Amino acid sequence: MKCIRIYWVFLLMVLISSCHKEGDTSSPLVEFYTPAANSSYSVLDTIMVNIRVTDNVMVQWVKLSVVNSNHITALHEISFQPNTADFNLNMPYVIDDIYLNSGTYYICVMASDGQNQTTSYRQIYISGIPRKLTGIIAITKNQTLSKIIRVDSLLMQHNLSTSTTDIAYSELDSRNQLLFMSGKYTLPLTAFNLNTLQSNWSILNQATPPFPYFENLNFASNSVLYVCFNNGNLRGYISTGSTVFSTNADMNWIPTTTCLQNLFLLCDKKNLSGQQHQMYVYFSMTGYLLQQISLNDFATMEMVSKNSSSVYLIGNLNGVGTIKLYSVSNNSTANVNTSMLQAFTSVKQLDSQYILISSNSNIYIFDMINEVLSPLFPGISATQIQVDDITNQIYLAHQNTIKIYSWPALSFQNEISFTDTVSSFHLLYNK
């Protein structure tokens, strides 16, 4: 009799347990009231989100966010812990990222009862704030002073900083409104905030003259600042100053310039004791060396991608402007016939077909499709070239002026004159 009672008690527990498990297989249900499907918004608009989440037992938590077409979080996530079977949410959700690009997005609602989870989406369209030119950041020098000058949209000049240190290299991050700059011997690598006019972070210059500490700065399309060090180091920093890329230093080979090419980082390195150069190719995510090739006495000034596997190397060979085509897939180089007699002084990609190249007496245009170098501005030279891809304007710096020309009409638009020589300048955008 006792055994029979134990059997029935055990059977009852199994039945109760089975019923409990069956009840937990139901996921929460999400109902969208607003926004309506395919609603359109602009950055800084407010989305009124009205949803209902129900569950047969209890809604333990709910998470609300906006994701892009790849279901990657694009805007901030908000979490709730209702602990009720019926949860209604009616709240404003601000599109507060001014850097958000135009496109299709989704209101994403995730809900869980502790055992089961569900995810629901409501498609919307968001128009981003248009990218526009907001000014020019120029670095000018005389015999004793270096100045950082901001030129606004009305071409009015505003002095942001004056120092006695020599600014040798500079790059600009418009998204974070940061001017990266460094000297050869004294000025540290500094992330200068253009809004606060203060340094966000810096790296000490440990130069032992006559050897500099920094060799060059290159800001890439992945928003990483690649820094070439004279001791052979090559490192990448993000806007916060964190290191995201590093290679093993080779004291005999000094990095001089870099180029991000798909999954790879290309770097021209010069020999410590001679004029020899080599091209190094690293995996951009790990810093591991893939391959290298000798460039002999050719010194790369700039690299411009031709396609997914080839890069143009623009530089000088024994004082003569030279263009080479480097194949990443074959690890080989080929000369491009340019018939140059002078050295190149500045390089800037104009668009997907053309590259602007300056010598001491002319500015040329290189056609990447036909591989032809032709004079564009005869009798005009530039120490630096910049291109505004929004207004199709070309900016040429020479001595103490920046001249502006239209493209493709090549008509003169304006001229900005400074008190001192323009050593470098950058176009500043709102994002």
- DSSP per residue, 122-183: EEEEEEPPPP-EEEEEEEEE-SS-EEEEEE-TT--EEEEEEESS---EEEEETTTTEEEEE-
- Helix (H) and strand (E) counts for the chain? 1, 36
The total of other beta-carbon atoms located within 10 Å of residue 74's CB is 20
Q: Please report the pLDDT score of residue 23 as a whole number.
A: 58
Question: Can you tell me whether residue 7 is helix, strand or coil?
Answer: helix
Using an 8 Å Cβ cutoff, are 430 and 128 in contact? no
**Are domains 26-127 and 132-164+337-431 of this chain identical in fold?**
no
Side chain identity at residue 336, one-letter code: V
Cα 372 from Cα 121, distance rounded (Å):
51
CA torsion 232→228→256→169, rounded to 10°?
-140
Q: Please report the pLDDT score of residue 15 as a whole number.
A: 45
Q: Please report the pLDDT score of residue 249 as a whole number.
A: 83
**Alpha carbon distances (Å) from 116 to 30, 107, 113, 192:** 13, 20, 6, 49
Nearest Cα residue to 181 out of 172, 169, 193, 198: 169
Give this prediction's pTM.
Answer: 0.85
β 73-80/320-327 pair status: unpaired
Using an 8 Å Cβ cutoff, are 372 and 405 in contact? no
Q: Could you give the maximum distance between any two Cα atoms of the chain, in Å?
A: 113
The tens digit of pLDDT for each residue in 339-375 reads: 888 999 999 999 999 999 999 999 999 999 999 999 9
β-strand partners of 374: 365
Instruction: Report the chain's C-alpha Rg in angstroms.
Output: 29
**Alpha carbon distances (Å) from 58 to 4, 31, 109:** 37, 16, 16
Side chain identity at residue 99, one-letter code: Y
Using the CB atoms, write b or e for 248-258: b if 16+ within 10 Å.
eebeebbbbbb
Roughly how many angstroms between the first and final C-alpha of the chain, as a whole number?
82
Question: Can you tell me whether residue 164 is helix, strand or coil?
Answer: coil
Cα 376 from Cα 393, distance rounded (Å):
14
Q: Please report the pLDDT score of residue 22 as a whole number.
A: 55
**Alpha carbon distances (Å) from 121 to 34, 72, 88, 245, 308:** 12, 13, 17, 36, 35
Using an 8 Å Cβ cutoff, are 14 and 62 in contact? no
Q: Please report the pLDDT score of residue 307 as a whole number.
A: 94
Non-local CB neighbours of 405 within 8 Å, separated by 6+ positions: 377, 393, 394, 396, 411, 412, 413
Q: Please report the pLDDT score of residue 16 as a whole number.
A: 46
Q: Please report the pLDDT score of residue 404 as a whole number.
A: 98
Using an 8 Å Cβ cutoff, are 422 and 384 in contact? yes
Q: Please report the pLDDT score of residue 2 as a whole number.
A: 45
CATH 2.60.40.10 for the 26-127 domain, yes or no? yes
Question: What would the mean pLDDT of 240-263 be, rounded to a whole number?
Answer: 95
Is the pLDDT reported for residue 294 higher than 80? yes
Report the chain's mean pLDDT, rounded to a whole number.
93
- Residue for token pair 């991050």: 173
Least confident of 20-24, 39-43, 240-244, 286-290: 20-24
Non-local CB neighbours of 187 within 8 Å, separated by 6+ positions: 163, 165, 166, 167, 168, 181, 205
Using an 8 Å Cβ cutoff, are 31 and 88 in contact? no
Is the pLDDT reported for residue 264 higher than 50? yes
Verify cis geometry, omega within 30 degrees of 0, for the bond prior to 210. Answer: yes
Q: Please report the pLDDT score of residue 251 as a whole number.
A: 85
Is the pLDDT reported for residue 8 higher than 80? no
Verify cis geometry, omega within 30 degrees of 0, for the bond prior to 188. Answer: no
Domain boundaries, the chain: 26-127, 132-164+337-431
Q: Please report the pLDDT score of residue 9 as a whole number.
A: 46
- At 216, the pLDDT band (50, 70, 90 cuts) reads very high
What percentage of residues in the chain have a pLDDT greater than 70?
95
- Could you tell me which CATH class the domain 132-164+337-431 is placed in? mainly beta
Side chain identity at residue 52, one-letter code: R
- Per-residue tokens: 280: 């190094």
